[in-house]
Amino acid sequence: MNQRTFVMKNCCSITREYFLKVGYQRRLRNHLNSSFFTAVLFFCTAFGFSAKHCPDCANISVPYPLSTGPTCGDPSYKIRCNGDSLIFDTLNNSYRITSINPQSQRLVIRPANLLPDTCLASDFIHQGIHLNNSLPFNITSSNTIIYLNCTDSLLLSPLNCSSNSLCHTYINGSKAVSPCEESLCCSFRTGGSTTAYMIQVRNTGCSAYTSFVNLNPNLTVNQWPEPGLEIQWELPREPVCGSQVDCGDGGNSTCGPDPHEAGTRRCFCKPGFLWDPVGGICFQSLTSVIVTILVAAIVVFLLYKRNKSIKESQERMVKEREEILHASVGCRTAKLFTGKEIKKATKDFSKDCLIGAGGYGEVYQGILEDGTFLAVKVAKVGNTKGTDQVLNEVRILCQVNHRNLVRLLGCSVELEQPILVYEYIDNGNLLEHLQGERRKGHGLLNWTSRLRIAHDTAEGLAYLHSSAVPPIYHRDVKSSNILP
């Protein structure tokens, strides 16, 4: 059995524990489309009825669609006014609202404080903040979360629990969390997804937390803003009504049944009027001709931009293919795989097929229709050097032909990330054999096998250094990258 030096950098998998439940890209897309359309038409409109806005509470204006009572706002956007403060209710707790921004459809709540003389959040019994994901509220990506009093299990999570984590800056600079000085802490910036519904504390994770909105990490702690968690609401639909009287003056809207919600009636704008979800009004253009021309111009412009983007993407893809094909001239059987082939081979990059992850990206096991096993190496999303690395590796590695080196089968540039495809070696790596993880009743490697592996590895490296043109330097020779 020949020794093969694996060209792909071996990657270690990590334990993932998520504190945010992700949802609603569709809602954000609707938000952007509605806001853009409303802004364009605003300047050529005359306004009709206005939705009922709730009165101010605790010196804070309550914009539509937020509702503090049954006669104002939209009941789906319910908050509470208890006289001296505005309250936001979660699934099992309540938090004080400190500010509201109607333009961005966002509000900020005050996160829970620590219980006296403890490093335990006052909402620990409720396991932190849990929004109702059936309601139109979501945690934004502008929050920096500081987790306190965490268990060691978090060291393997995606959170930053290292010594340079921002949480240490906060603990050292804030007397409010002095009981947490001796405990493990972590931090992370909400994001990577458009929305979330949960900030969780529990015994097996962290027992306390706080949050800061739009935090500048370069500031000293005494310059940080007050703790807050920013929440965004979805742009509302037309107001709910019981009769025509509920639709303002009734001139520009009609109270009718909602075809999407049985038993619900809404103030739908009359023909010629459009619903503005930000202002909560129906508005009408000065002339239908201007509106038609303007809308047509916008549609044509967007279609032009879309087609131009598609064309440029196709031209770029063709160029990349040509470069790869040109690089393969004189090389041995380097194949250009289609994106469809790669997706099918890896079951659309299923987590079940993931066999490694690291600095470059992720490695998946795949199988072609003819039964050929593959090792599919995918660059990280946003890796601007990914395509260059693919082209460079194809140019060089397709020339490599040695019995002790893993064979490059080809590559693909059709998908969002560049991909390299290698032969798959199903025998584990040398590290696993040395530690007895792959013995399967055959015992540890004997010294004869170890000497052969060392000799074969040296042969492969000598070939890369002395026979390959140009010379190839592996730079990451270690037992986990050697496949016996």
Rounded Cα–Cα distance for residues 106 and 108 (Å): 7
Contact present, 123 and 93 (Cβ < 8 Å): yes
| C-alpha to C-alpha distances, 54 to 73, 95, 240, 423, 463, nearest whole angstrom | 6, 19, 15, 65, 77
Backbone CA torsion sign across 357, 361, 363, 369: positive
- Nearest Cα to Cα of residue 51 among 219, 329, 204, 238: 238
Single-letter residue type at 483: L
Is 123 marked active-site? Answer: no
Per the listing, tokens 């393969």 go with 328
Rounded Cα–Cα distance for residues 284 and 277 (Å): 14
| Strand residues in 380-457 grouped as ranges (E) | 408-412, 419-423
Please state whether beta strands 335-336 and 408-412 pair in parallel, antiparallel, or not at all (unpaired): parallel
Per the listing, tokens 């070696």 go with 425
Beta bridge partners of 282: 275
- Nearest Cα to Cα of residue 431 among 465, 463, 477: 477
Rounded Cα–Cα distance for residues 150 and 155 (Å): 9
Tokens of 21: 């439940």
Helices (H), 267-287: none
Q: Of residues 56, 249, 388, 476, which has the active-site annotation?
A: 476
Strand order from edge to edge, sheet including 143-150: 184-189, 143-150, 206-213
Radius of gyration from C-alpha coordinates of the chain: 30
- How is 104-143 classified by DSSP, letter by letter? TTEEEEPPPPBPTTSS-BTTGGGTEEE--TTSSEEE-TTE
Helices (H), 93-237: 166-173
Q: Say whether 340 counts as a known binding-site residue.
A: no
Which residues are catalytic, by number?
476
Q: From the annotation, which residues make up the binding site?
A: 377
Task: List, as residue ranges, the binding site for ATP.
Answer: 377
